[in-house]
């Protein structure tokens, strides 16, 4: 049986993790799979649970710093606004953010209409294909590096990309 680590043993590590004396956890409400506002207004979901669990283990309070997109979380990485965040690992973000091992793997895909000529992933990267994404989302960052021919159409929020899919005549939505 493996023994539980002594989380309170290294005061220097805790000070480095939470220099303000509490864990300031960035919560991205733009991804309802990972975070959501509970009816009483508290942060809920796996990201909030992980932040609360870490704070409890190191004997600190947790403060949630709310964001509506992952891009906005990443944009504030150098502003001393938060201590921990729950973001997709991306090479661009890694320029200013140190990552741990992933706590979850989420596979992205595309949504198309039933009558779409797009039937495979390879069909997406073609001239004339438009791909809707939430600006700064992991899907935006990945597709910006990999798509050569399709046009990326960025919306302020990922949910906007989904909502505008039909109205704007977009070929597909990434997410």
**pLDDT tens digits for 135-145?**
988 899 999 99
**pLDDT tens digits for 7-62?**
555 888 899 999 999 999 999 998 888 899 999 989 999 999 999 999 999 999 99
**Which residue's structure tokens are 């409890």?**
56
C-alpha to C-alpha distance for 172 and 111, rounded to whole angstroms: 5
Domains of the chain with CATH codes: 11-95 (3.40.190.10), 110-174 (3.40.190.10)
**pLDDT tens digits for 143-170?**
999 999 999 999 998 889 999 988 999 9
Inter-residue contact 169 to 153 (CB < 8 Å): no
Per-residue pLDDT at 135: 92
110, with CB counted inside 10 A (0-12, 13-18, 19+), is buried
**pLDDT tens digits for 82-121?**
999 999 999 989 999 999 999 888 888 999 999 999 999 9
Which stretches does DSSP call E strand in 56-148? 62-67, 110-111, 130-134
| Those residues with Cβ within 8 angstroms of residue 148's Cβ, 6 or more apart along the chain or in another chain | 125
Per-residue pLDDT at 31: 84
């Amino acid at each position: 049986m493996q023994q539980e680590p002594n989380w309170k043993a290294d005061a220097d590590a805790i000070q480095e993790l939470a220099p303000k004396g509490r864990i300031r956890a960035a919560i991205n409400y733009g991804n309802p799979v990972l975070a959501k506002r509970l009816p009483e207004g508290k942060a809920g979901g796996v990201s909030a649970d992980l932040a609360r669990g870490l704070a409890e283990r190191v004997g600190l309070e947790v403060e949630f710093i709310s964001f509506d997109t992952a891009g906005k979380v990443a944009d504030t990485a150098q502003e001393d606004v938060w201590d921990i965040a729950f973001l997709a690992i991306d090479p661009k973000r890694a320029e200013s953010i140190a990552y741990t091992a992933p706590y979850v793997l989420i596979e992205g895909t595309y949504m198309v209409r039933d009558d779409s000529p797009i039937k495979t992933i390879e069909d997406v990267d073609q001239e004339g294909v438009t791909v809707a994404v939430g600006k700064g989302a992991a899907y935006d960052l990945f597709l910006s590096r990999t798509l050569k021919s399709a046009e990326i159409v960025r919306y302020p929020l990922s949910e906007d990309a989904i909502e505008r899919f039909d109205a704007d005549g977009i070929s597909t939505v990434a997410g």
